[in-house]
Structure 1
Amino acid sequence: MKTKVEVDLVDVAGGNLGSVSRCLRRMQIPYRLVNPVYPPDGTKPIILPGVGNFGAVMNSLRNDNFDQLILKLVREGTPYLGICVGMQILFEGSEESSVAGFGLLPGKVVKFRQGKIPQIGWNQINPTSPDWKEGYVYFVNSYVAEPLEPSDILYSANYFGPFCAAVARDNITAFQFHPEKSGDFGKALLNQWVQSVSTFSSDQKLRGARR
């Protein structure tokens, strides 16, 4: 579905930037790439994709204090969508690395205790909210988030036991799976998020930050 909402797509070293940007183009969602040289200004929703190592992604973002800018914007109310490691870094830390995460959500990231690692392939996700639909999505992950607040869990899934597949709180949404690789259902999830932030403006963010 074509939308007038433009998003800021964070250029993360080693991330799944190519697949996400291609998906956005196919969906006719306009975007601009942002990085420490061309930073976001808080006027557009942010998408942060990421694959690989938790610590490597955080260290990449720390170039020129880029992580602090993103953290500031999200705390002020800018909508944020994290994908894969872009979800994990919302938490305080990970067993994968000694590098601290954003700490925007309480909890930690742990390695799967059972089964073949990494989990690669399709798996069913089940929503905790009636506003979101169940379906099958594509995962590539060895680590999963363990939120301290059950209310932060948007989707759950099962891989030799239940795990958190997506989170949502206020202006933050994040998927452990890859919506850009999850066919029509994944595109529908991306479109639902885009439509949910379609009324966002910097004025709205600033009004929210003052409260």
Structure 2
Amino acid sequence: MVVKVVILDYGSGNLRSAERAVARLGADVTVTADADAAMNADGLVVPGVGAFAACMSGLRSVGGDRIIGRRLAGGRPVLGICVGMQILFERGIEHGIETEGCGEWPGVVERLEAPVLPHMGWNTVQAPEGSVLFKGIDPGTRFYFVHSYGVRKWELEAGPGFAPPLVAWAEHGVPFVAAAENGPLMATQFHPEKSGDAGAALLRNWLDTLR
């Protein structure tokens, strides 16, 4: 089965590198802001680079926040990458300015406390037991990060009848959320499309959930 994936084009993110990375794994990939295409795809990838506020502005301009919400309400898979992960949270604070996010997860995106920022380069990730995204990936595997902000506290707990979200952590000065899996909503702070074989393995794991 060839799965159909849309890379949401809202003016931010490594669209073509994400497109190539997913297409190399055999998916039928389209880069578009078309709402119908984004709603009907087997999987939706939400990339993002730059400032939280600018990404949210671009996302809202194409109705991307509503698309994400509608897909998740119907149990349709969404994968956020880098700032595309950050905007899934309630709010982001940059340079003292607070911006409302999509609110799919509680929590705040804030500046990391580290001697050197941005956090740029390869780093290991502490993946949770039972992870789908990190299935078959060695614990010491490194992924490629480029960011100065992150989620330093995970605030969503399991509710009655619901499995707890699976949260992966990394550290740069302080611990931060490196990836999260919560039913159809999954996301990574690092760039799987820039993480070589490790990133390809993770994307393949995600694509397997769409079949």
Which band: TM-score by shorter chain? Answer: 0.7 to 0.9
Residue pairs, 1:50-65, within 5 angstroms? 50-65=48-63
Q: Say what the alpha-carbon RMSD is for the aligned residues.
A: 1.8
Residue pairs, 1:10-89, within 5 angstroms? 10-36=8-34, 39-89=37-87
Structure 2, unmatched stretches of 5+, are 158-163
Alpha-carbon distance between aligned partners in 2 of 1:41 and 1:163, rounded to the nearest angstrom:
31
2:99 is aligned to 99
How far residue 78 of structure 1 moved from its aligned partner, in angstroms, is: 1.1
* Higher helix fraction (1 or 2): 1
Alpha-carbon distance between aligned partners in 1 of 2:130 and 2:59, rounded to the nearest angstrom:
34
Paired letter, 1:165? A
Match of 1:186 among 192, 196, 199: 199
4+ residue runs of structure 1 moved beyond 4 angstroms? 36-39
* Kept in 2: contact 1:6–1:29 (CA 8 A): yes
Offset from partner CA, 1:113-152 (integer Å, 9 cap, x none): 1221100000001111244332210000001113213643
2:145 is aligned to 139
Alpha-carbon distance between aligned partners in 1 of 2:50 and 2:129, rounded to the nearest angstrom:
29
* Kept in 2: contact 1:36–1:63 (CA 8 A): no
Structure 1, unmatched stretches of 5+, are 199-211
* Kept in 1: contact 2:90–2:106 (CA 8 A): yes
Alpha-carbon distance between aligned partners in 2 of 1:142 and 1:152, rounded to the nearest angstrom:
24
How far residue 70 of structure 1 moved from its aligned partner, in angstroms, is: 2.5
SS class of match (2:23): helix
Count of aligned residue pairs for this structure pair: 196
Offset from partner CA, 1:79-135 (integer Å, 9 cap, x none): 000000110011000112432111011111111112211000000011112443322
Paired letter, 1:48? V
Over 3 Å counting, the alpha-carbon distance change for 1:120 and 1:32 in structure 2 is same
Paired letter, 1:185? A
Alpha-carbon distance between aligned partners in 2 of 1:123 and 1:56, rounded to the nearest angstrom:
26
Alpha-carbon distance between aligned partners in 2 of 1:164 and 1:37, rounded to the nearest angstrom:
29
How far residue 40 of structure 1 moved from its aligned partner, in angstroms, is: 1.8
Q: Percent identity?
A: 35
TM-score (normalised: structure 2): 0.85
Paired letter, 2:59? L
TM-score (normalised: structure 1): 0.85
How far residue 59 of structure 1 moved from its aligned partner, in angstroms, is: 0.6
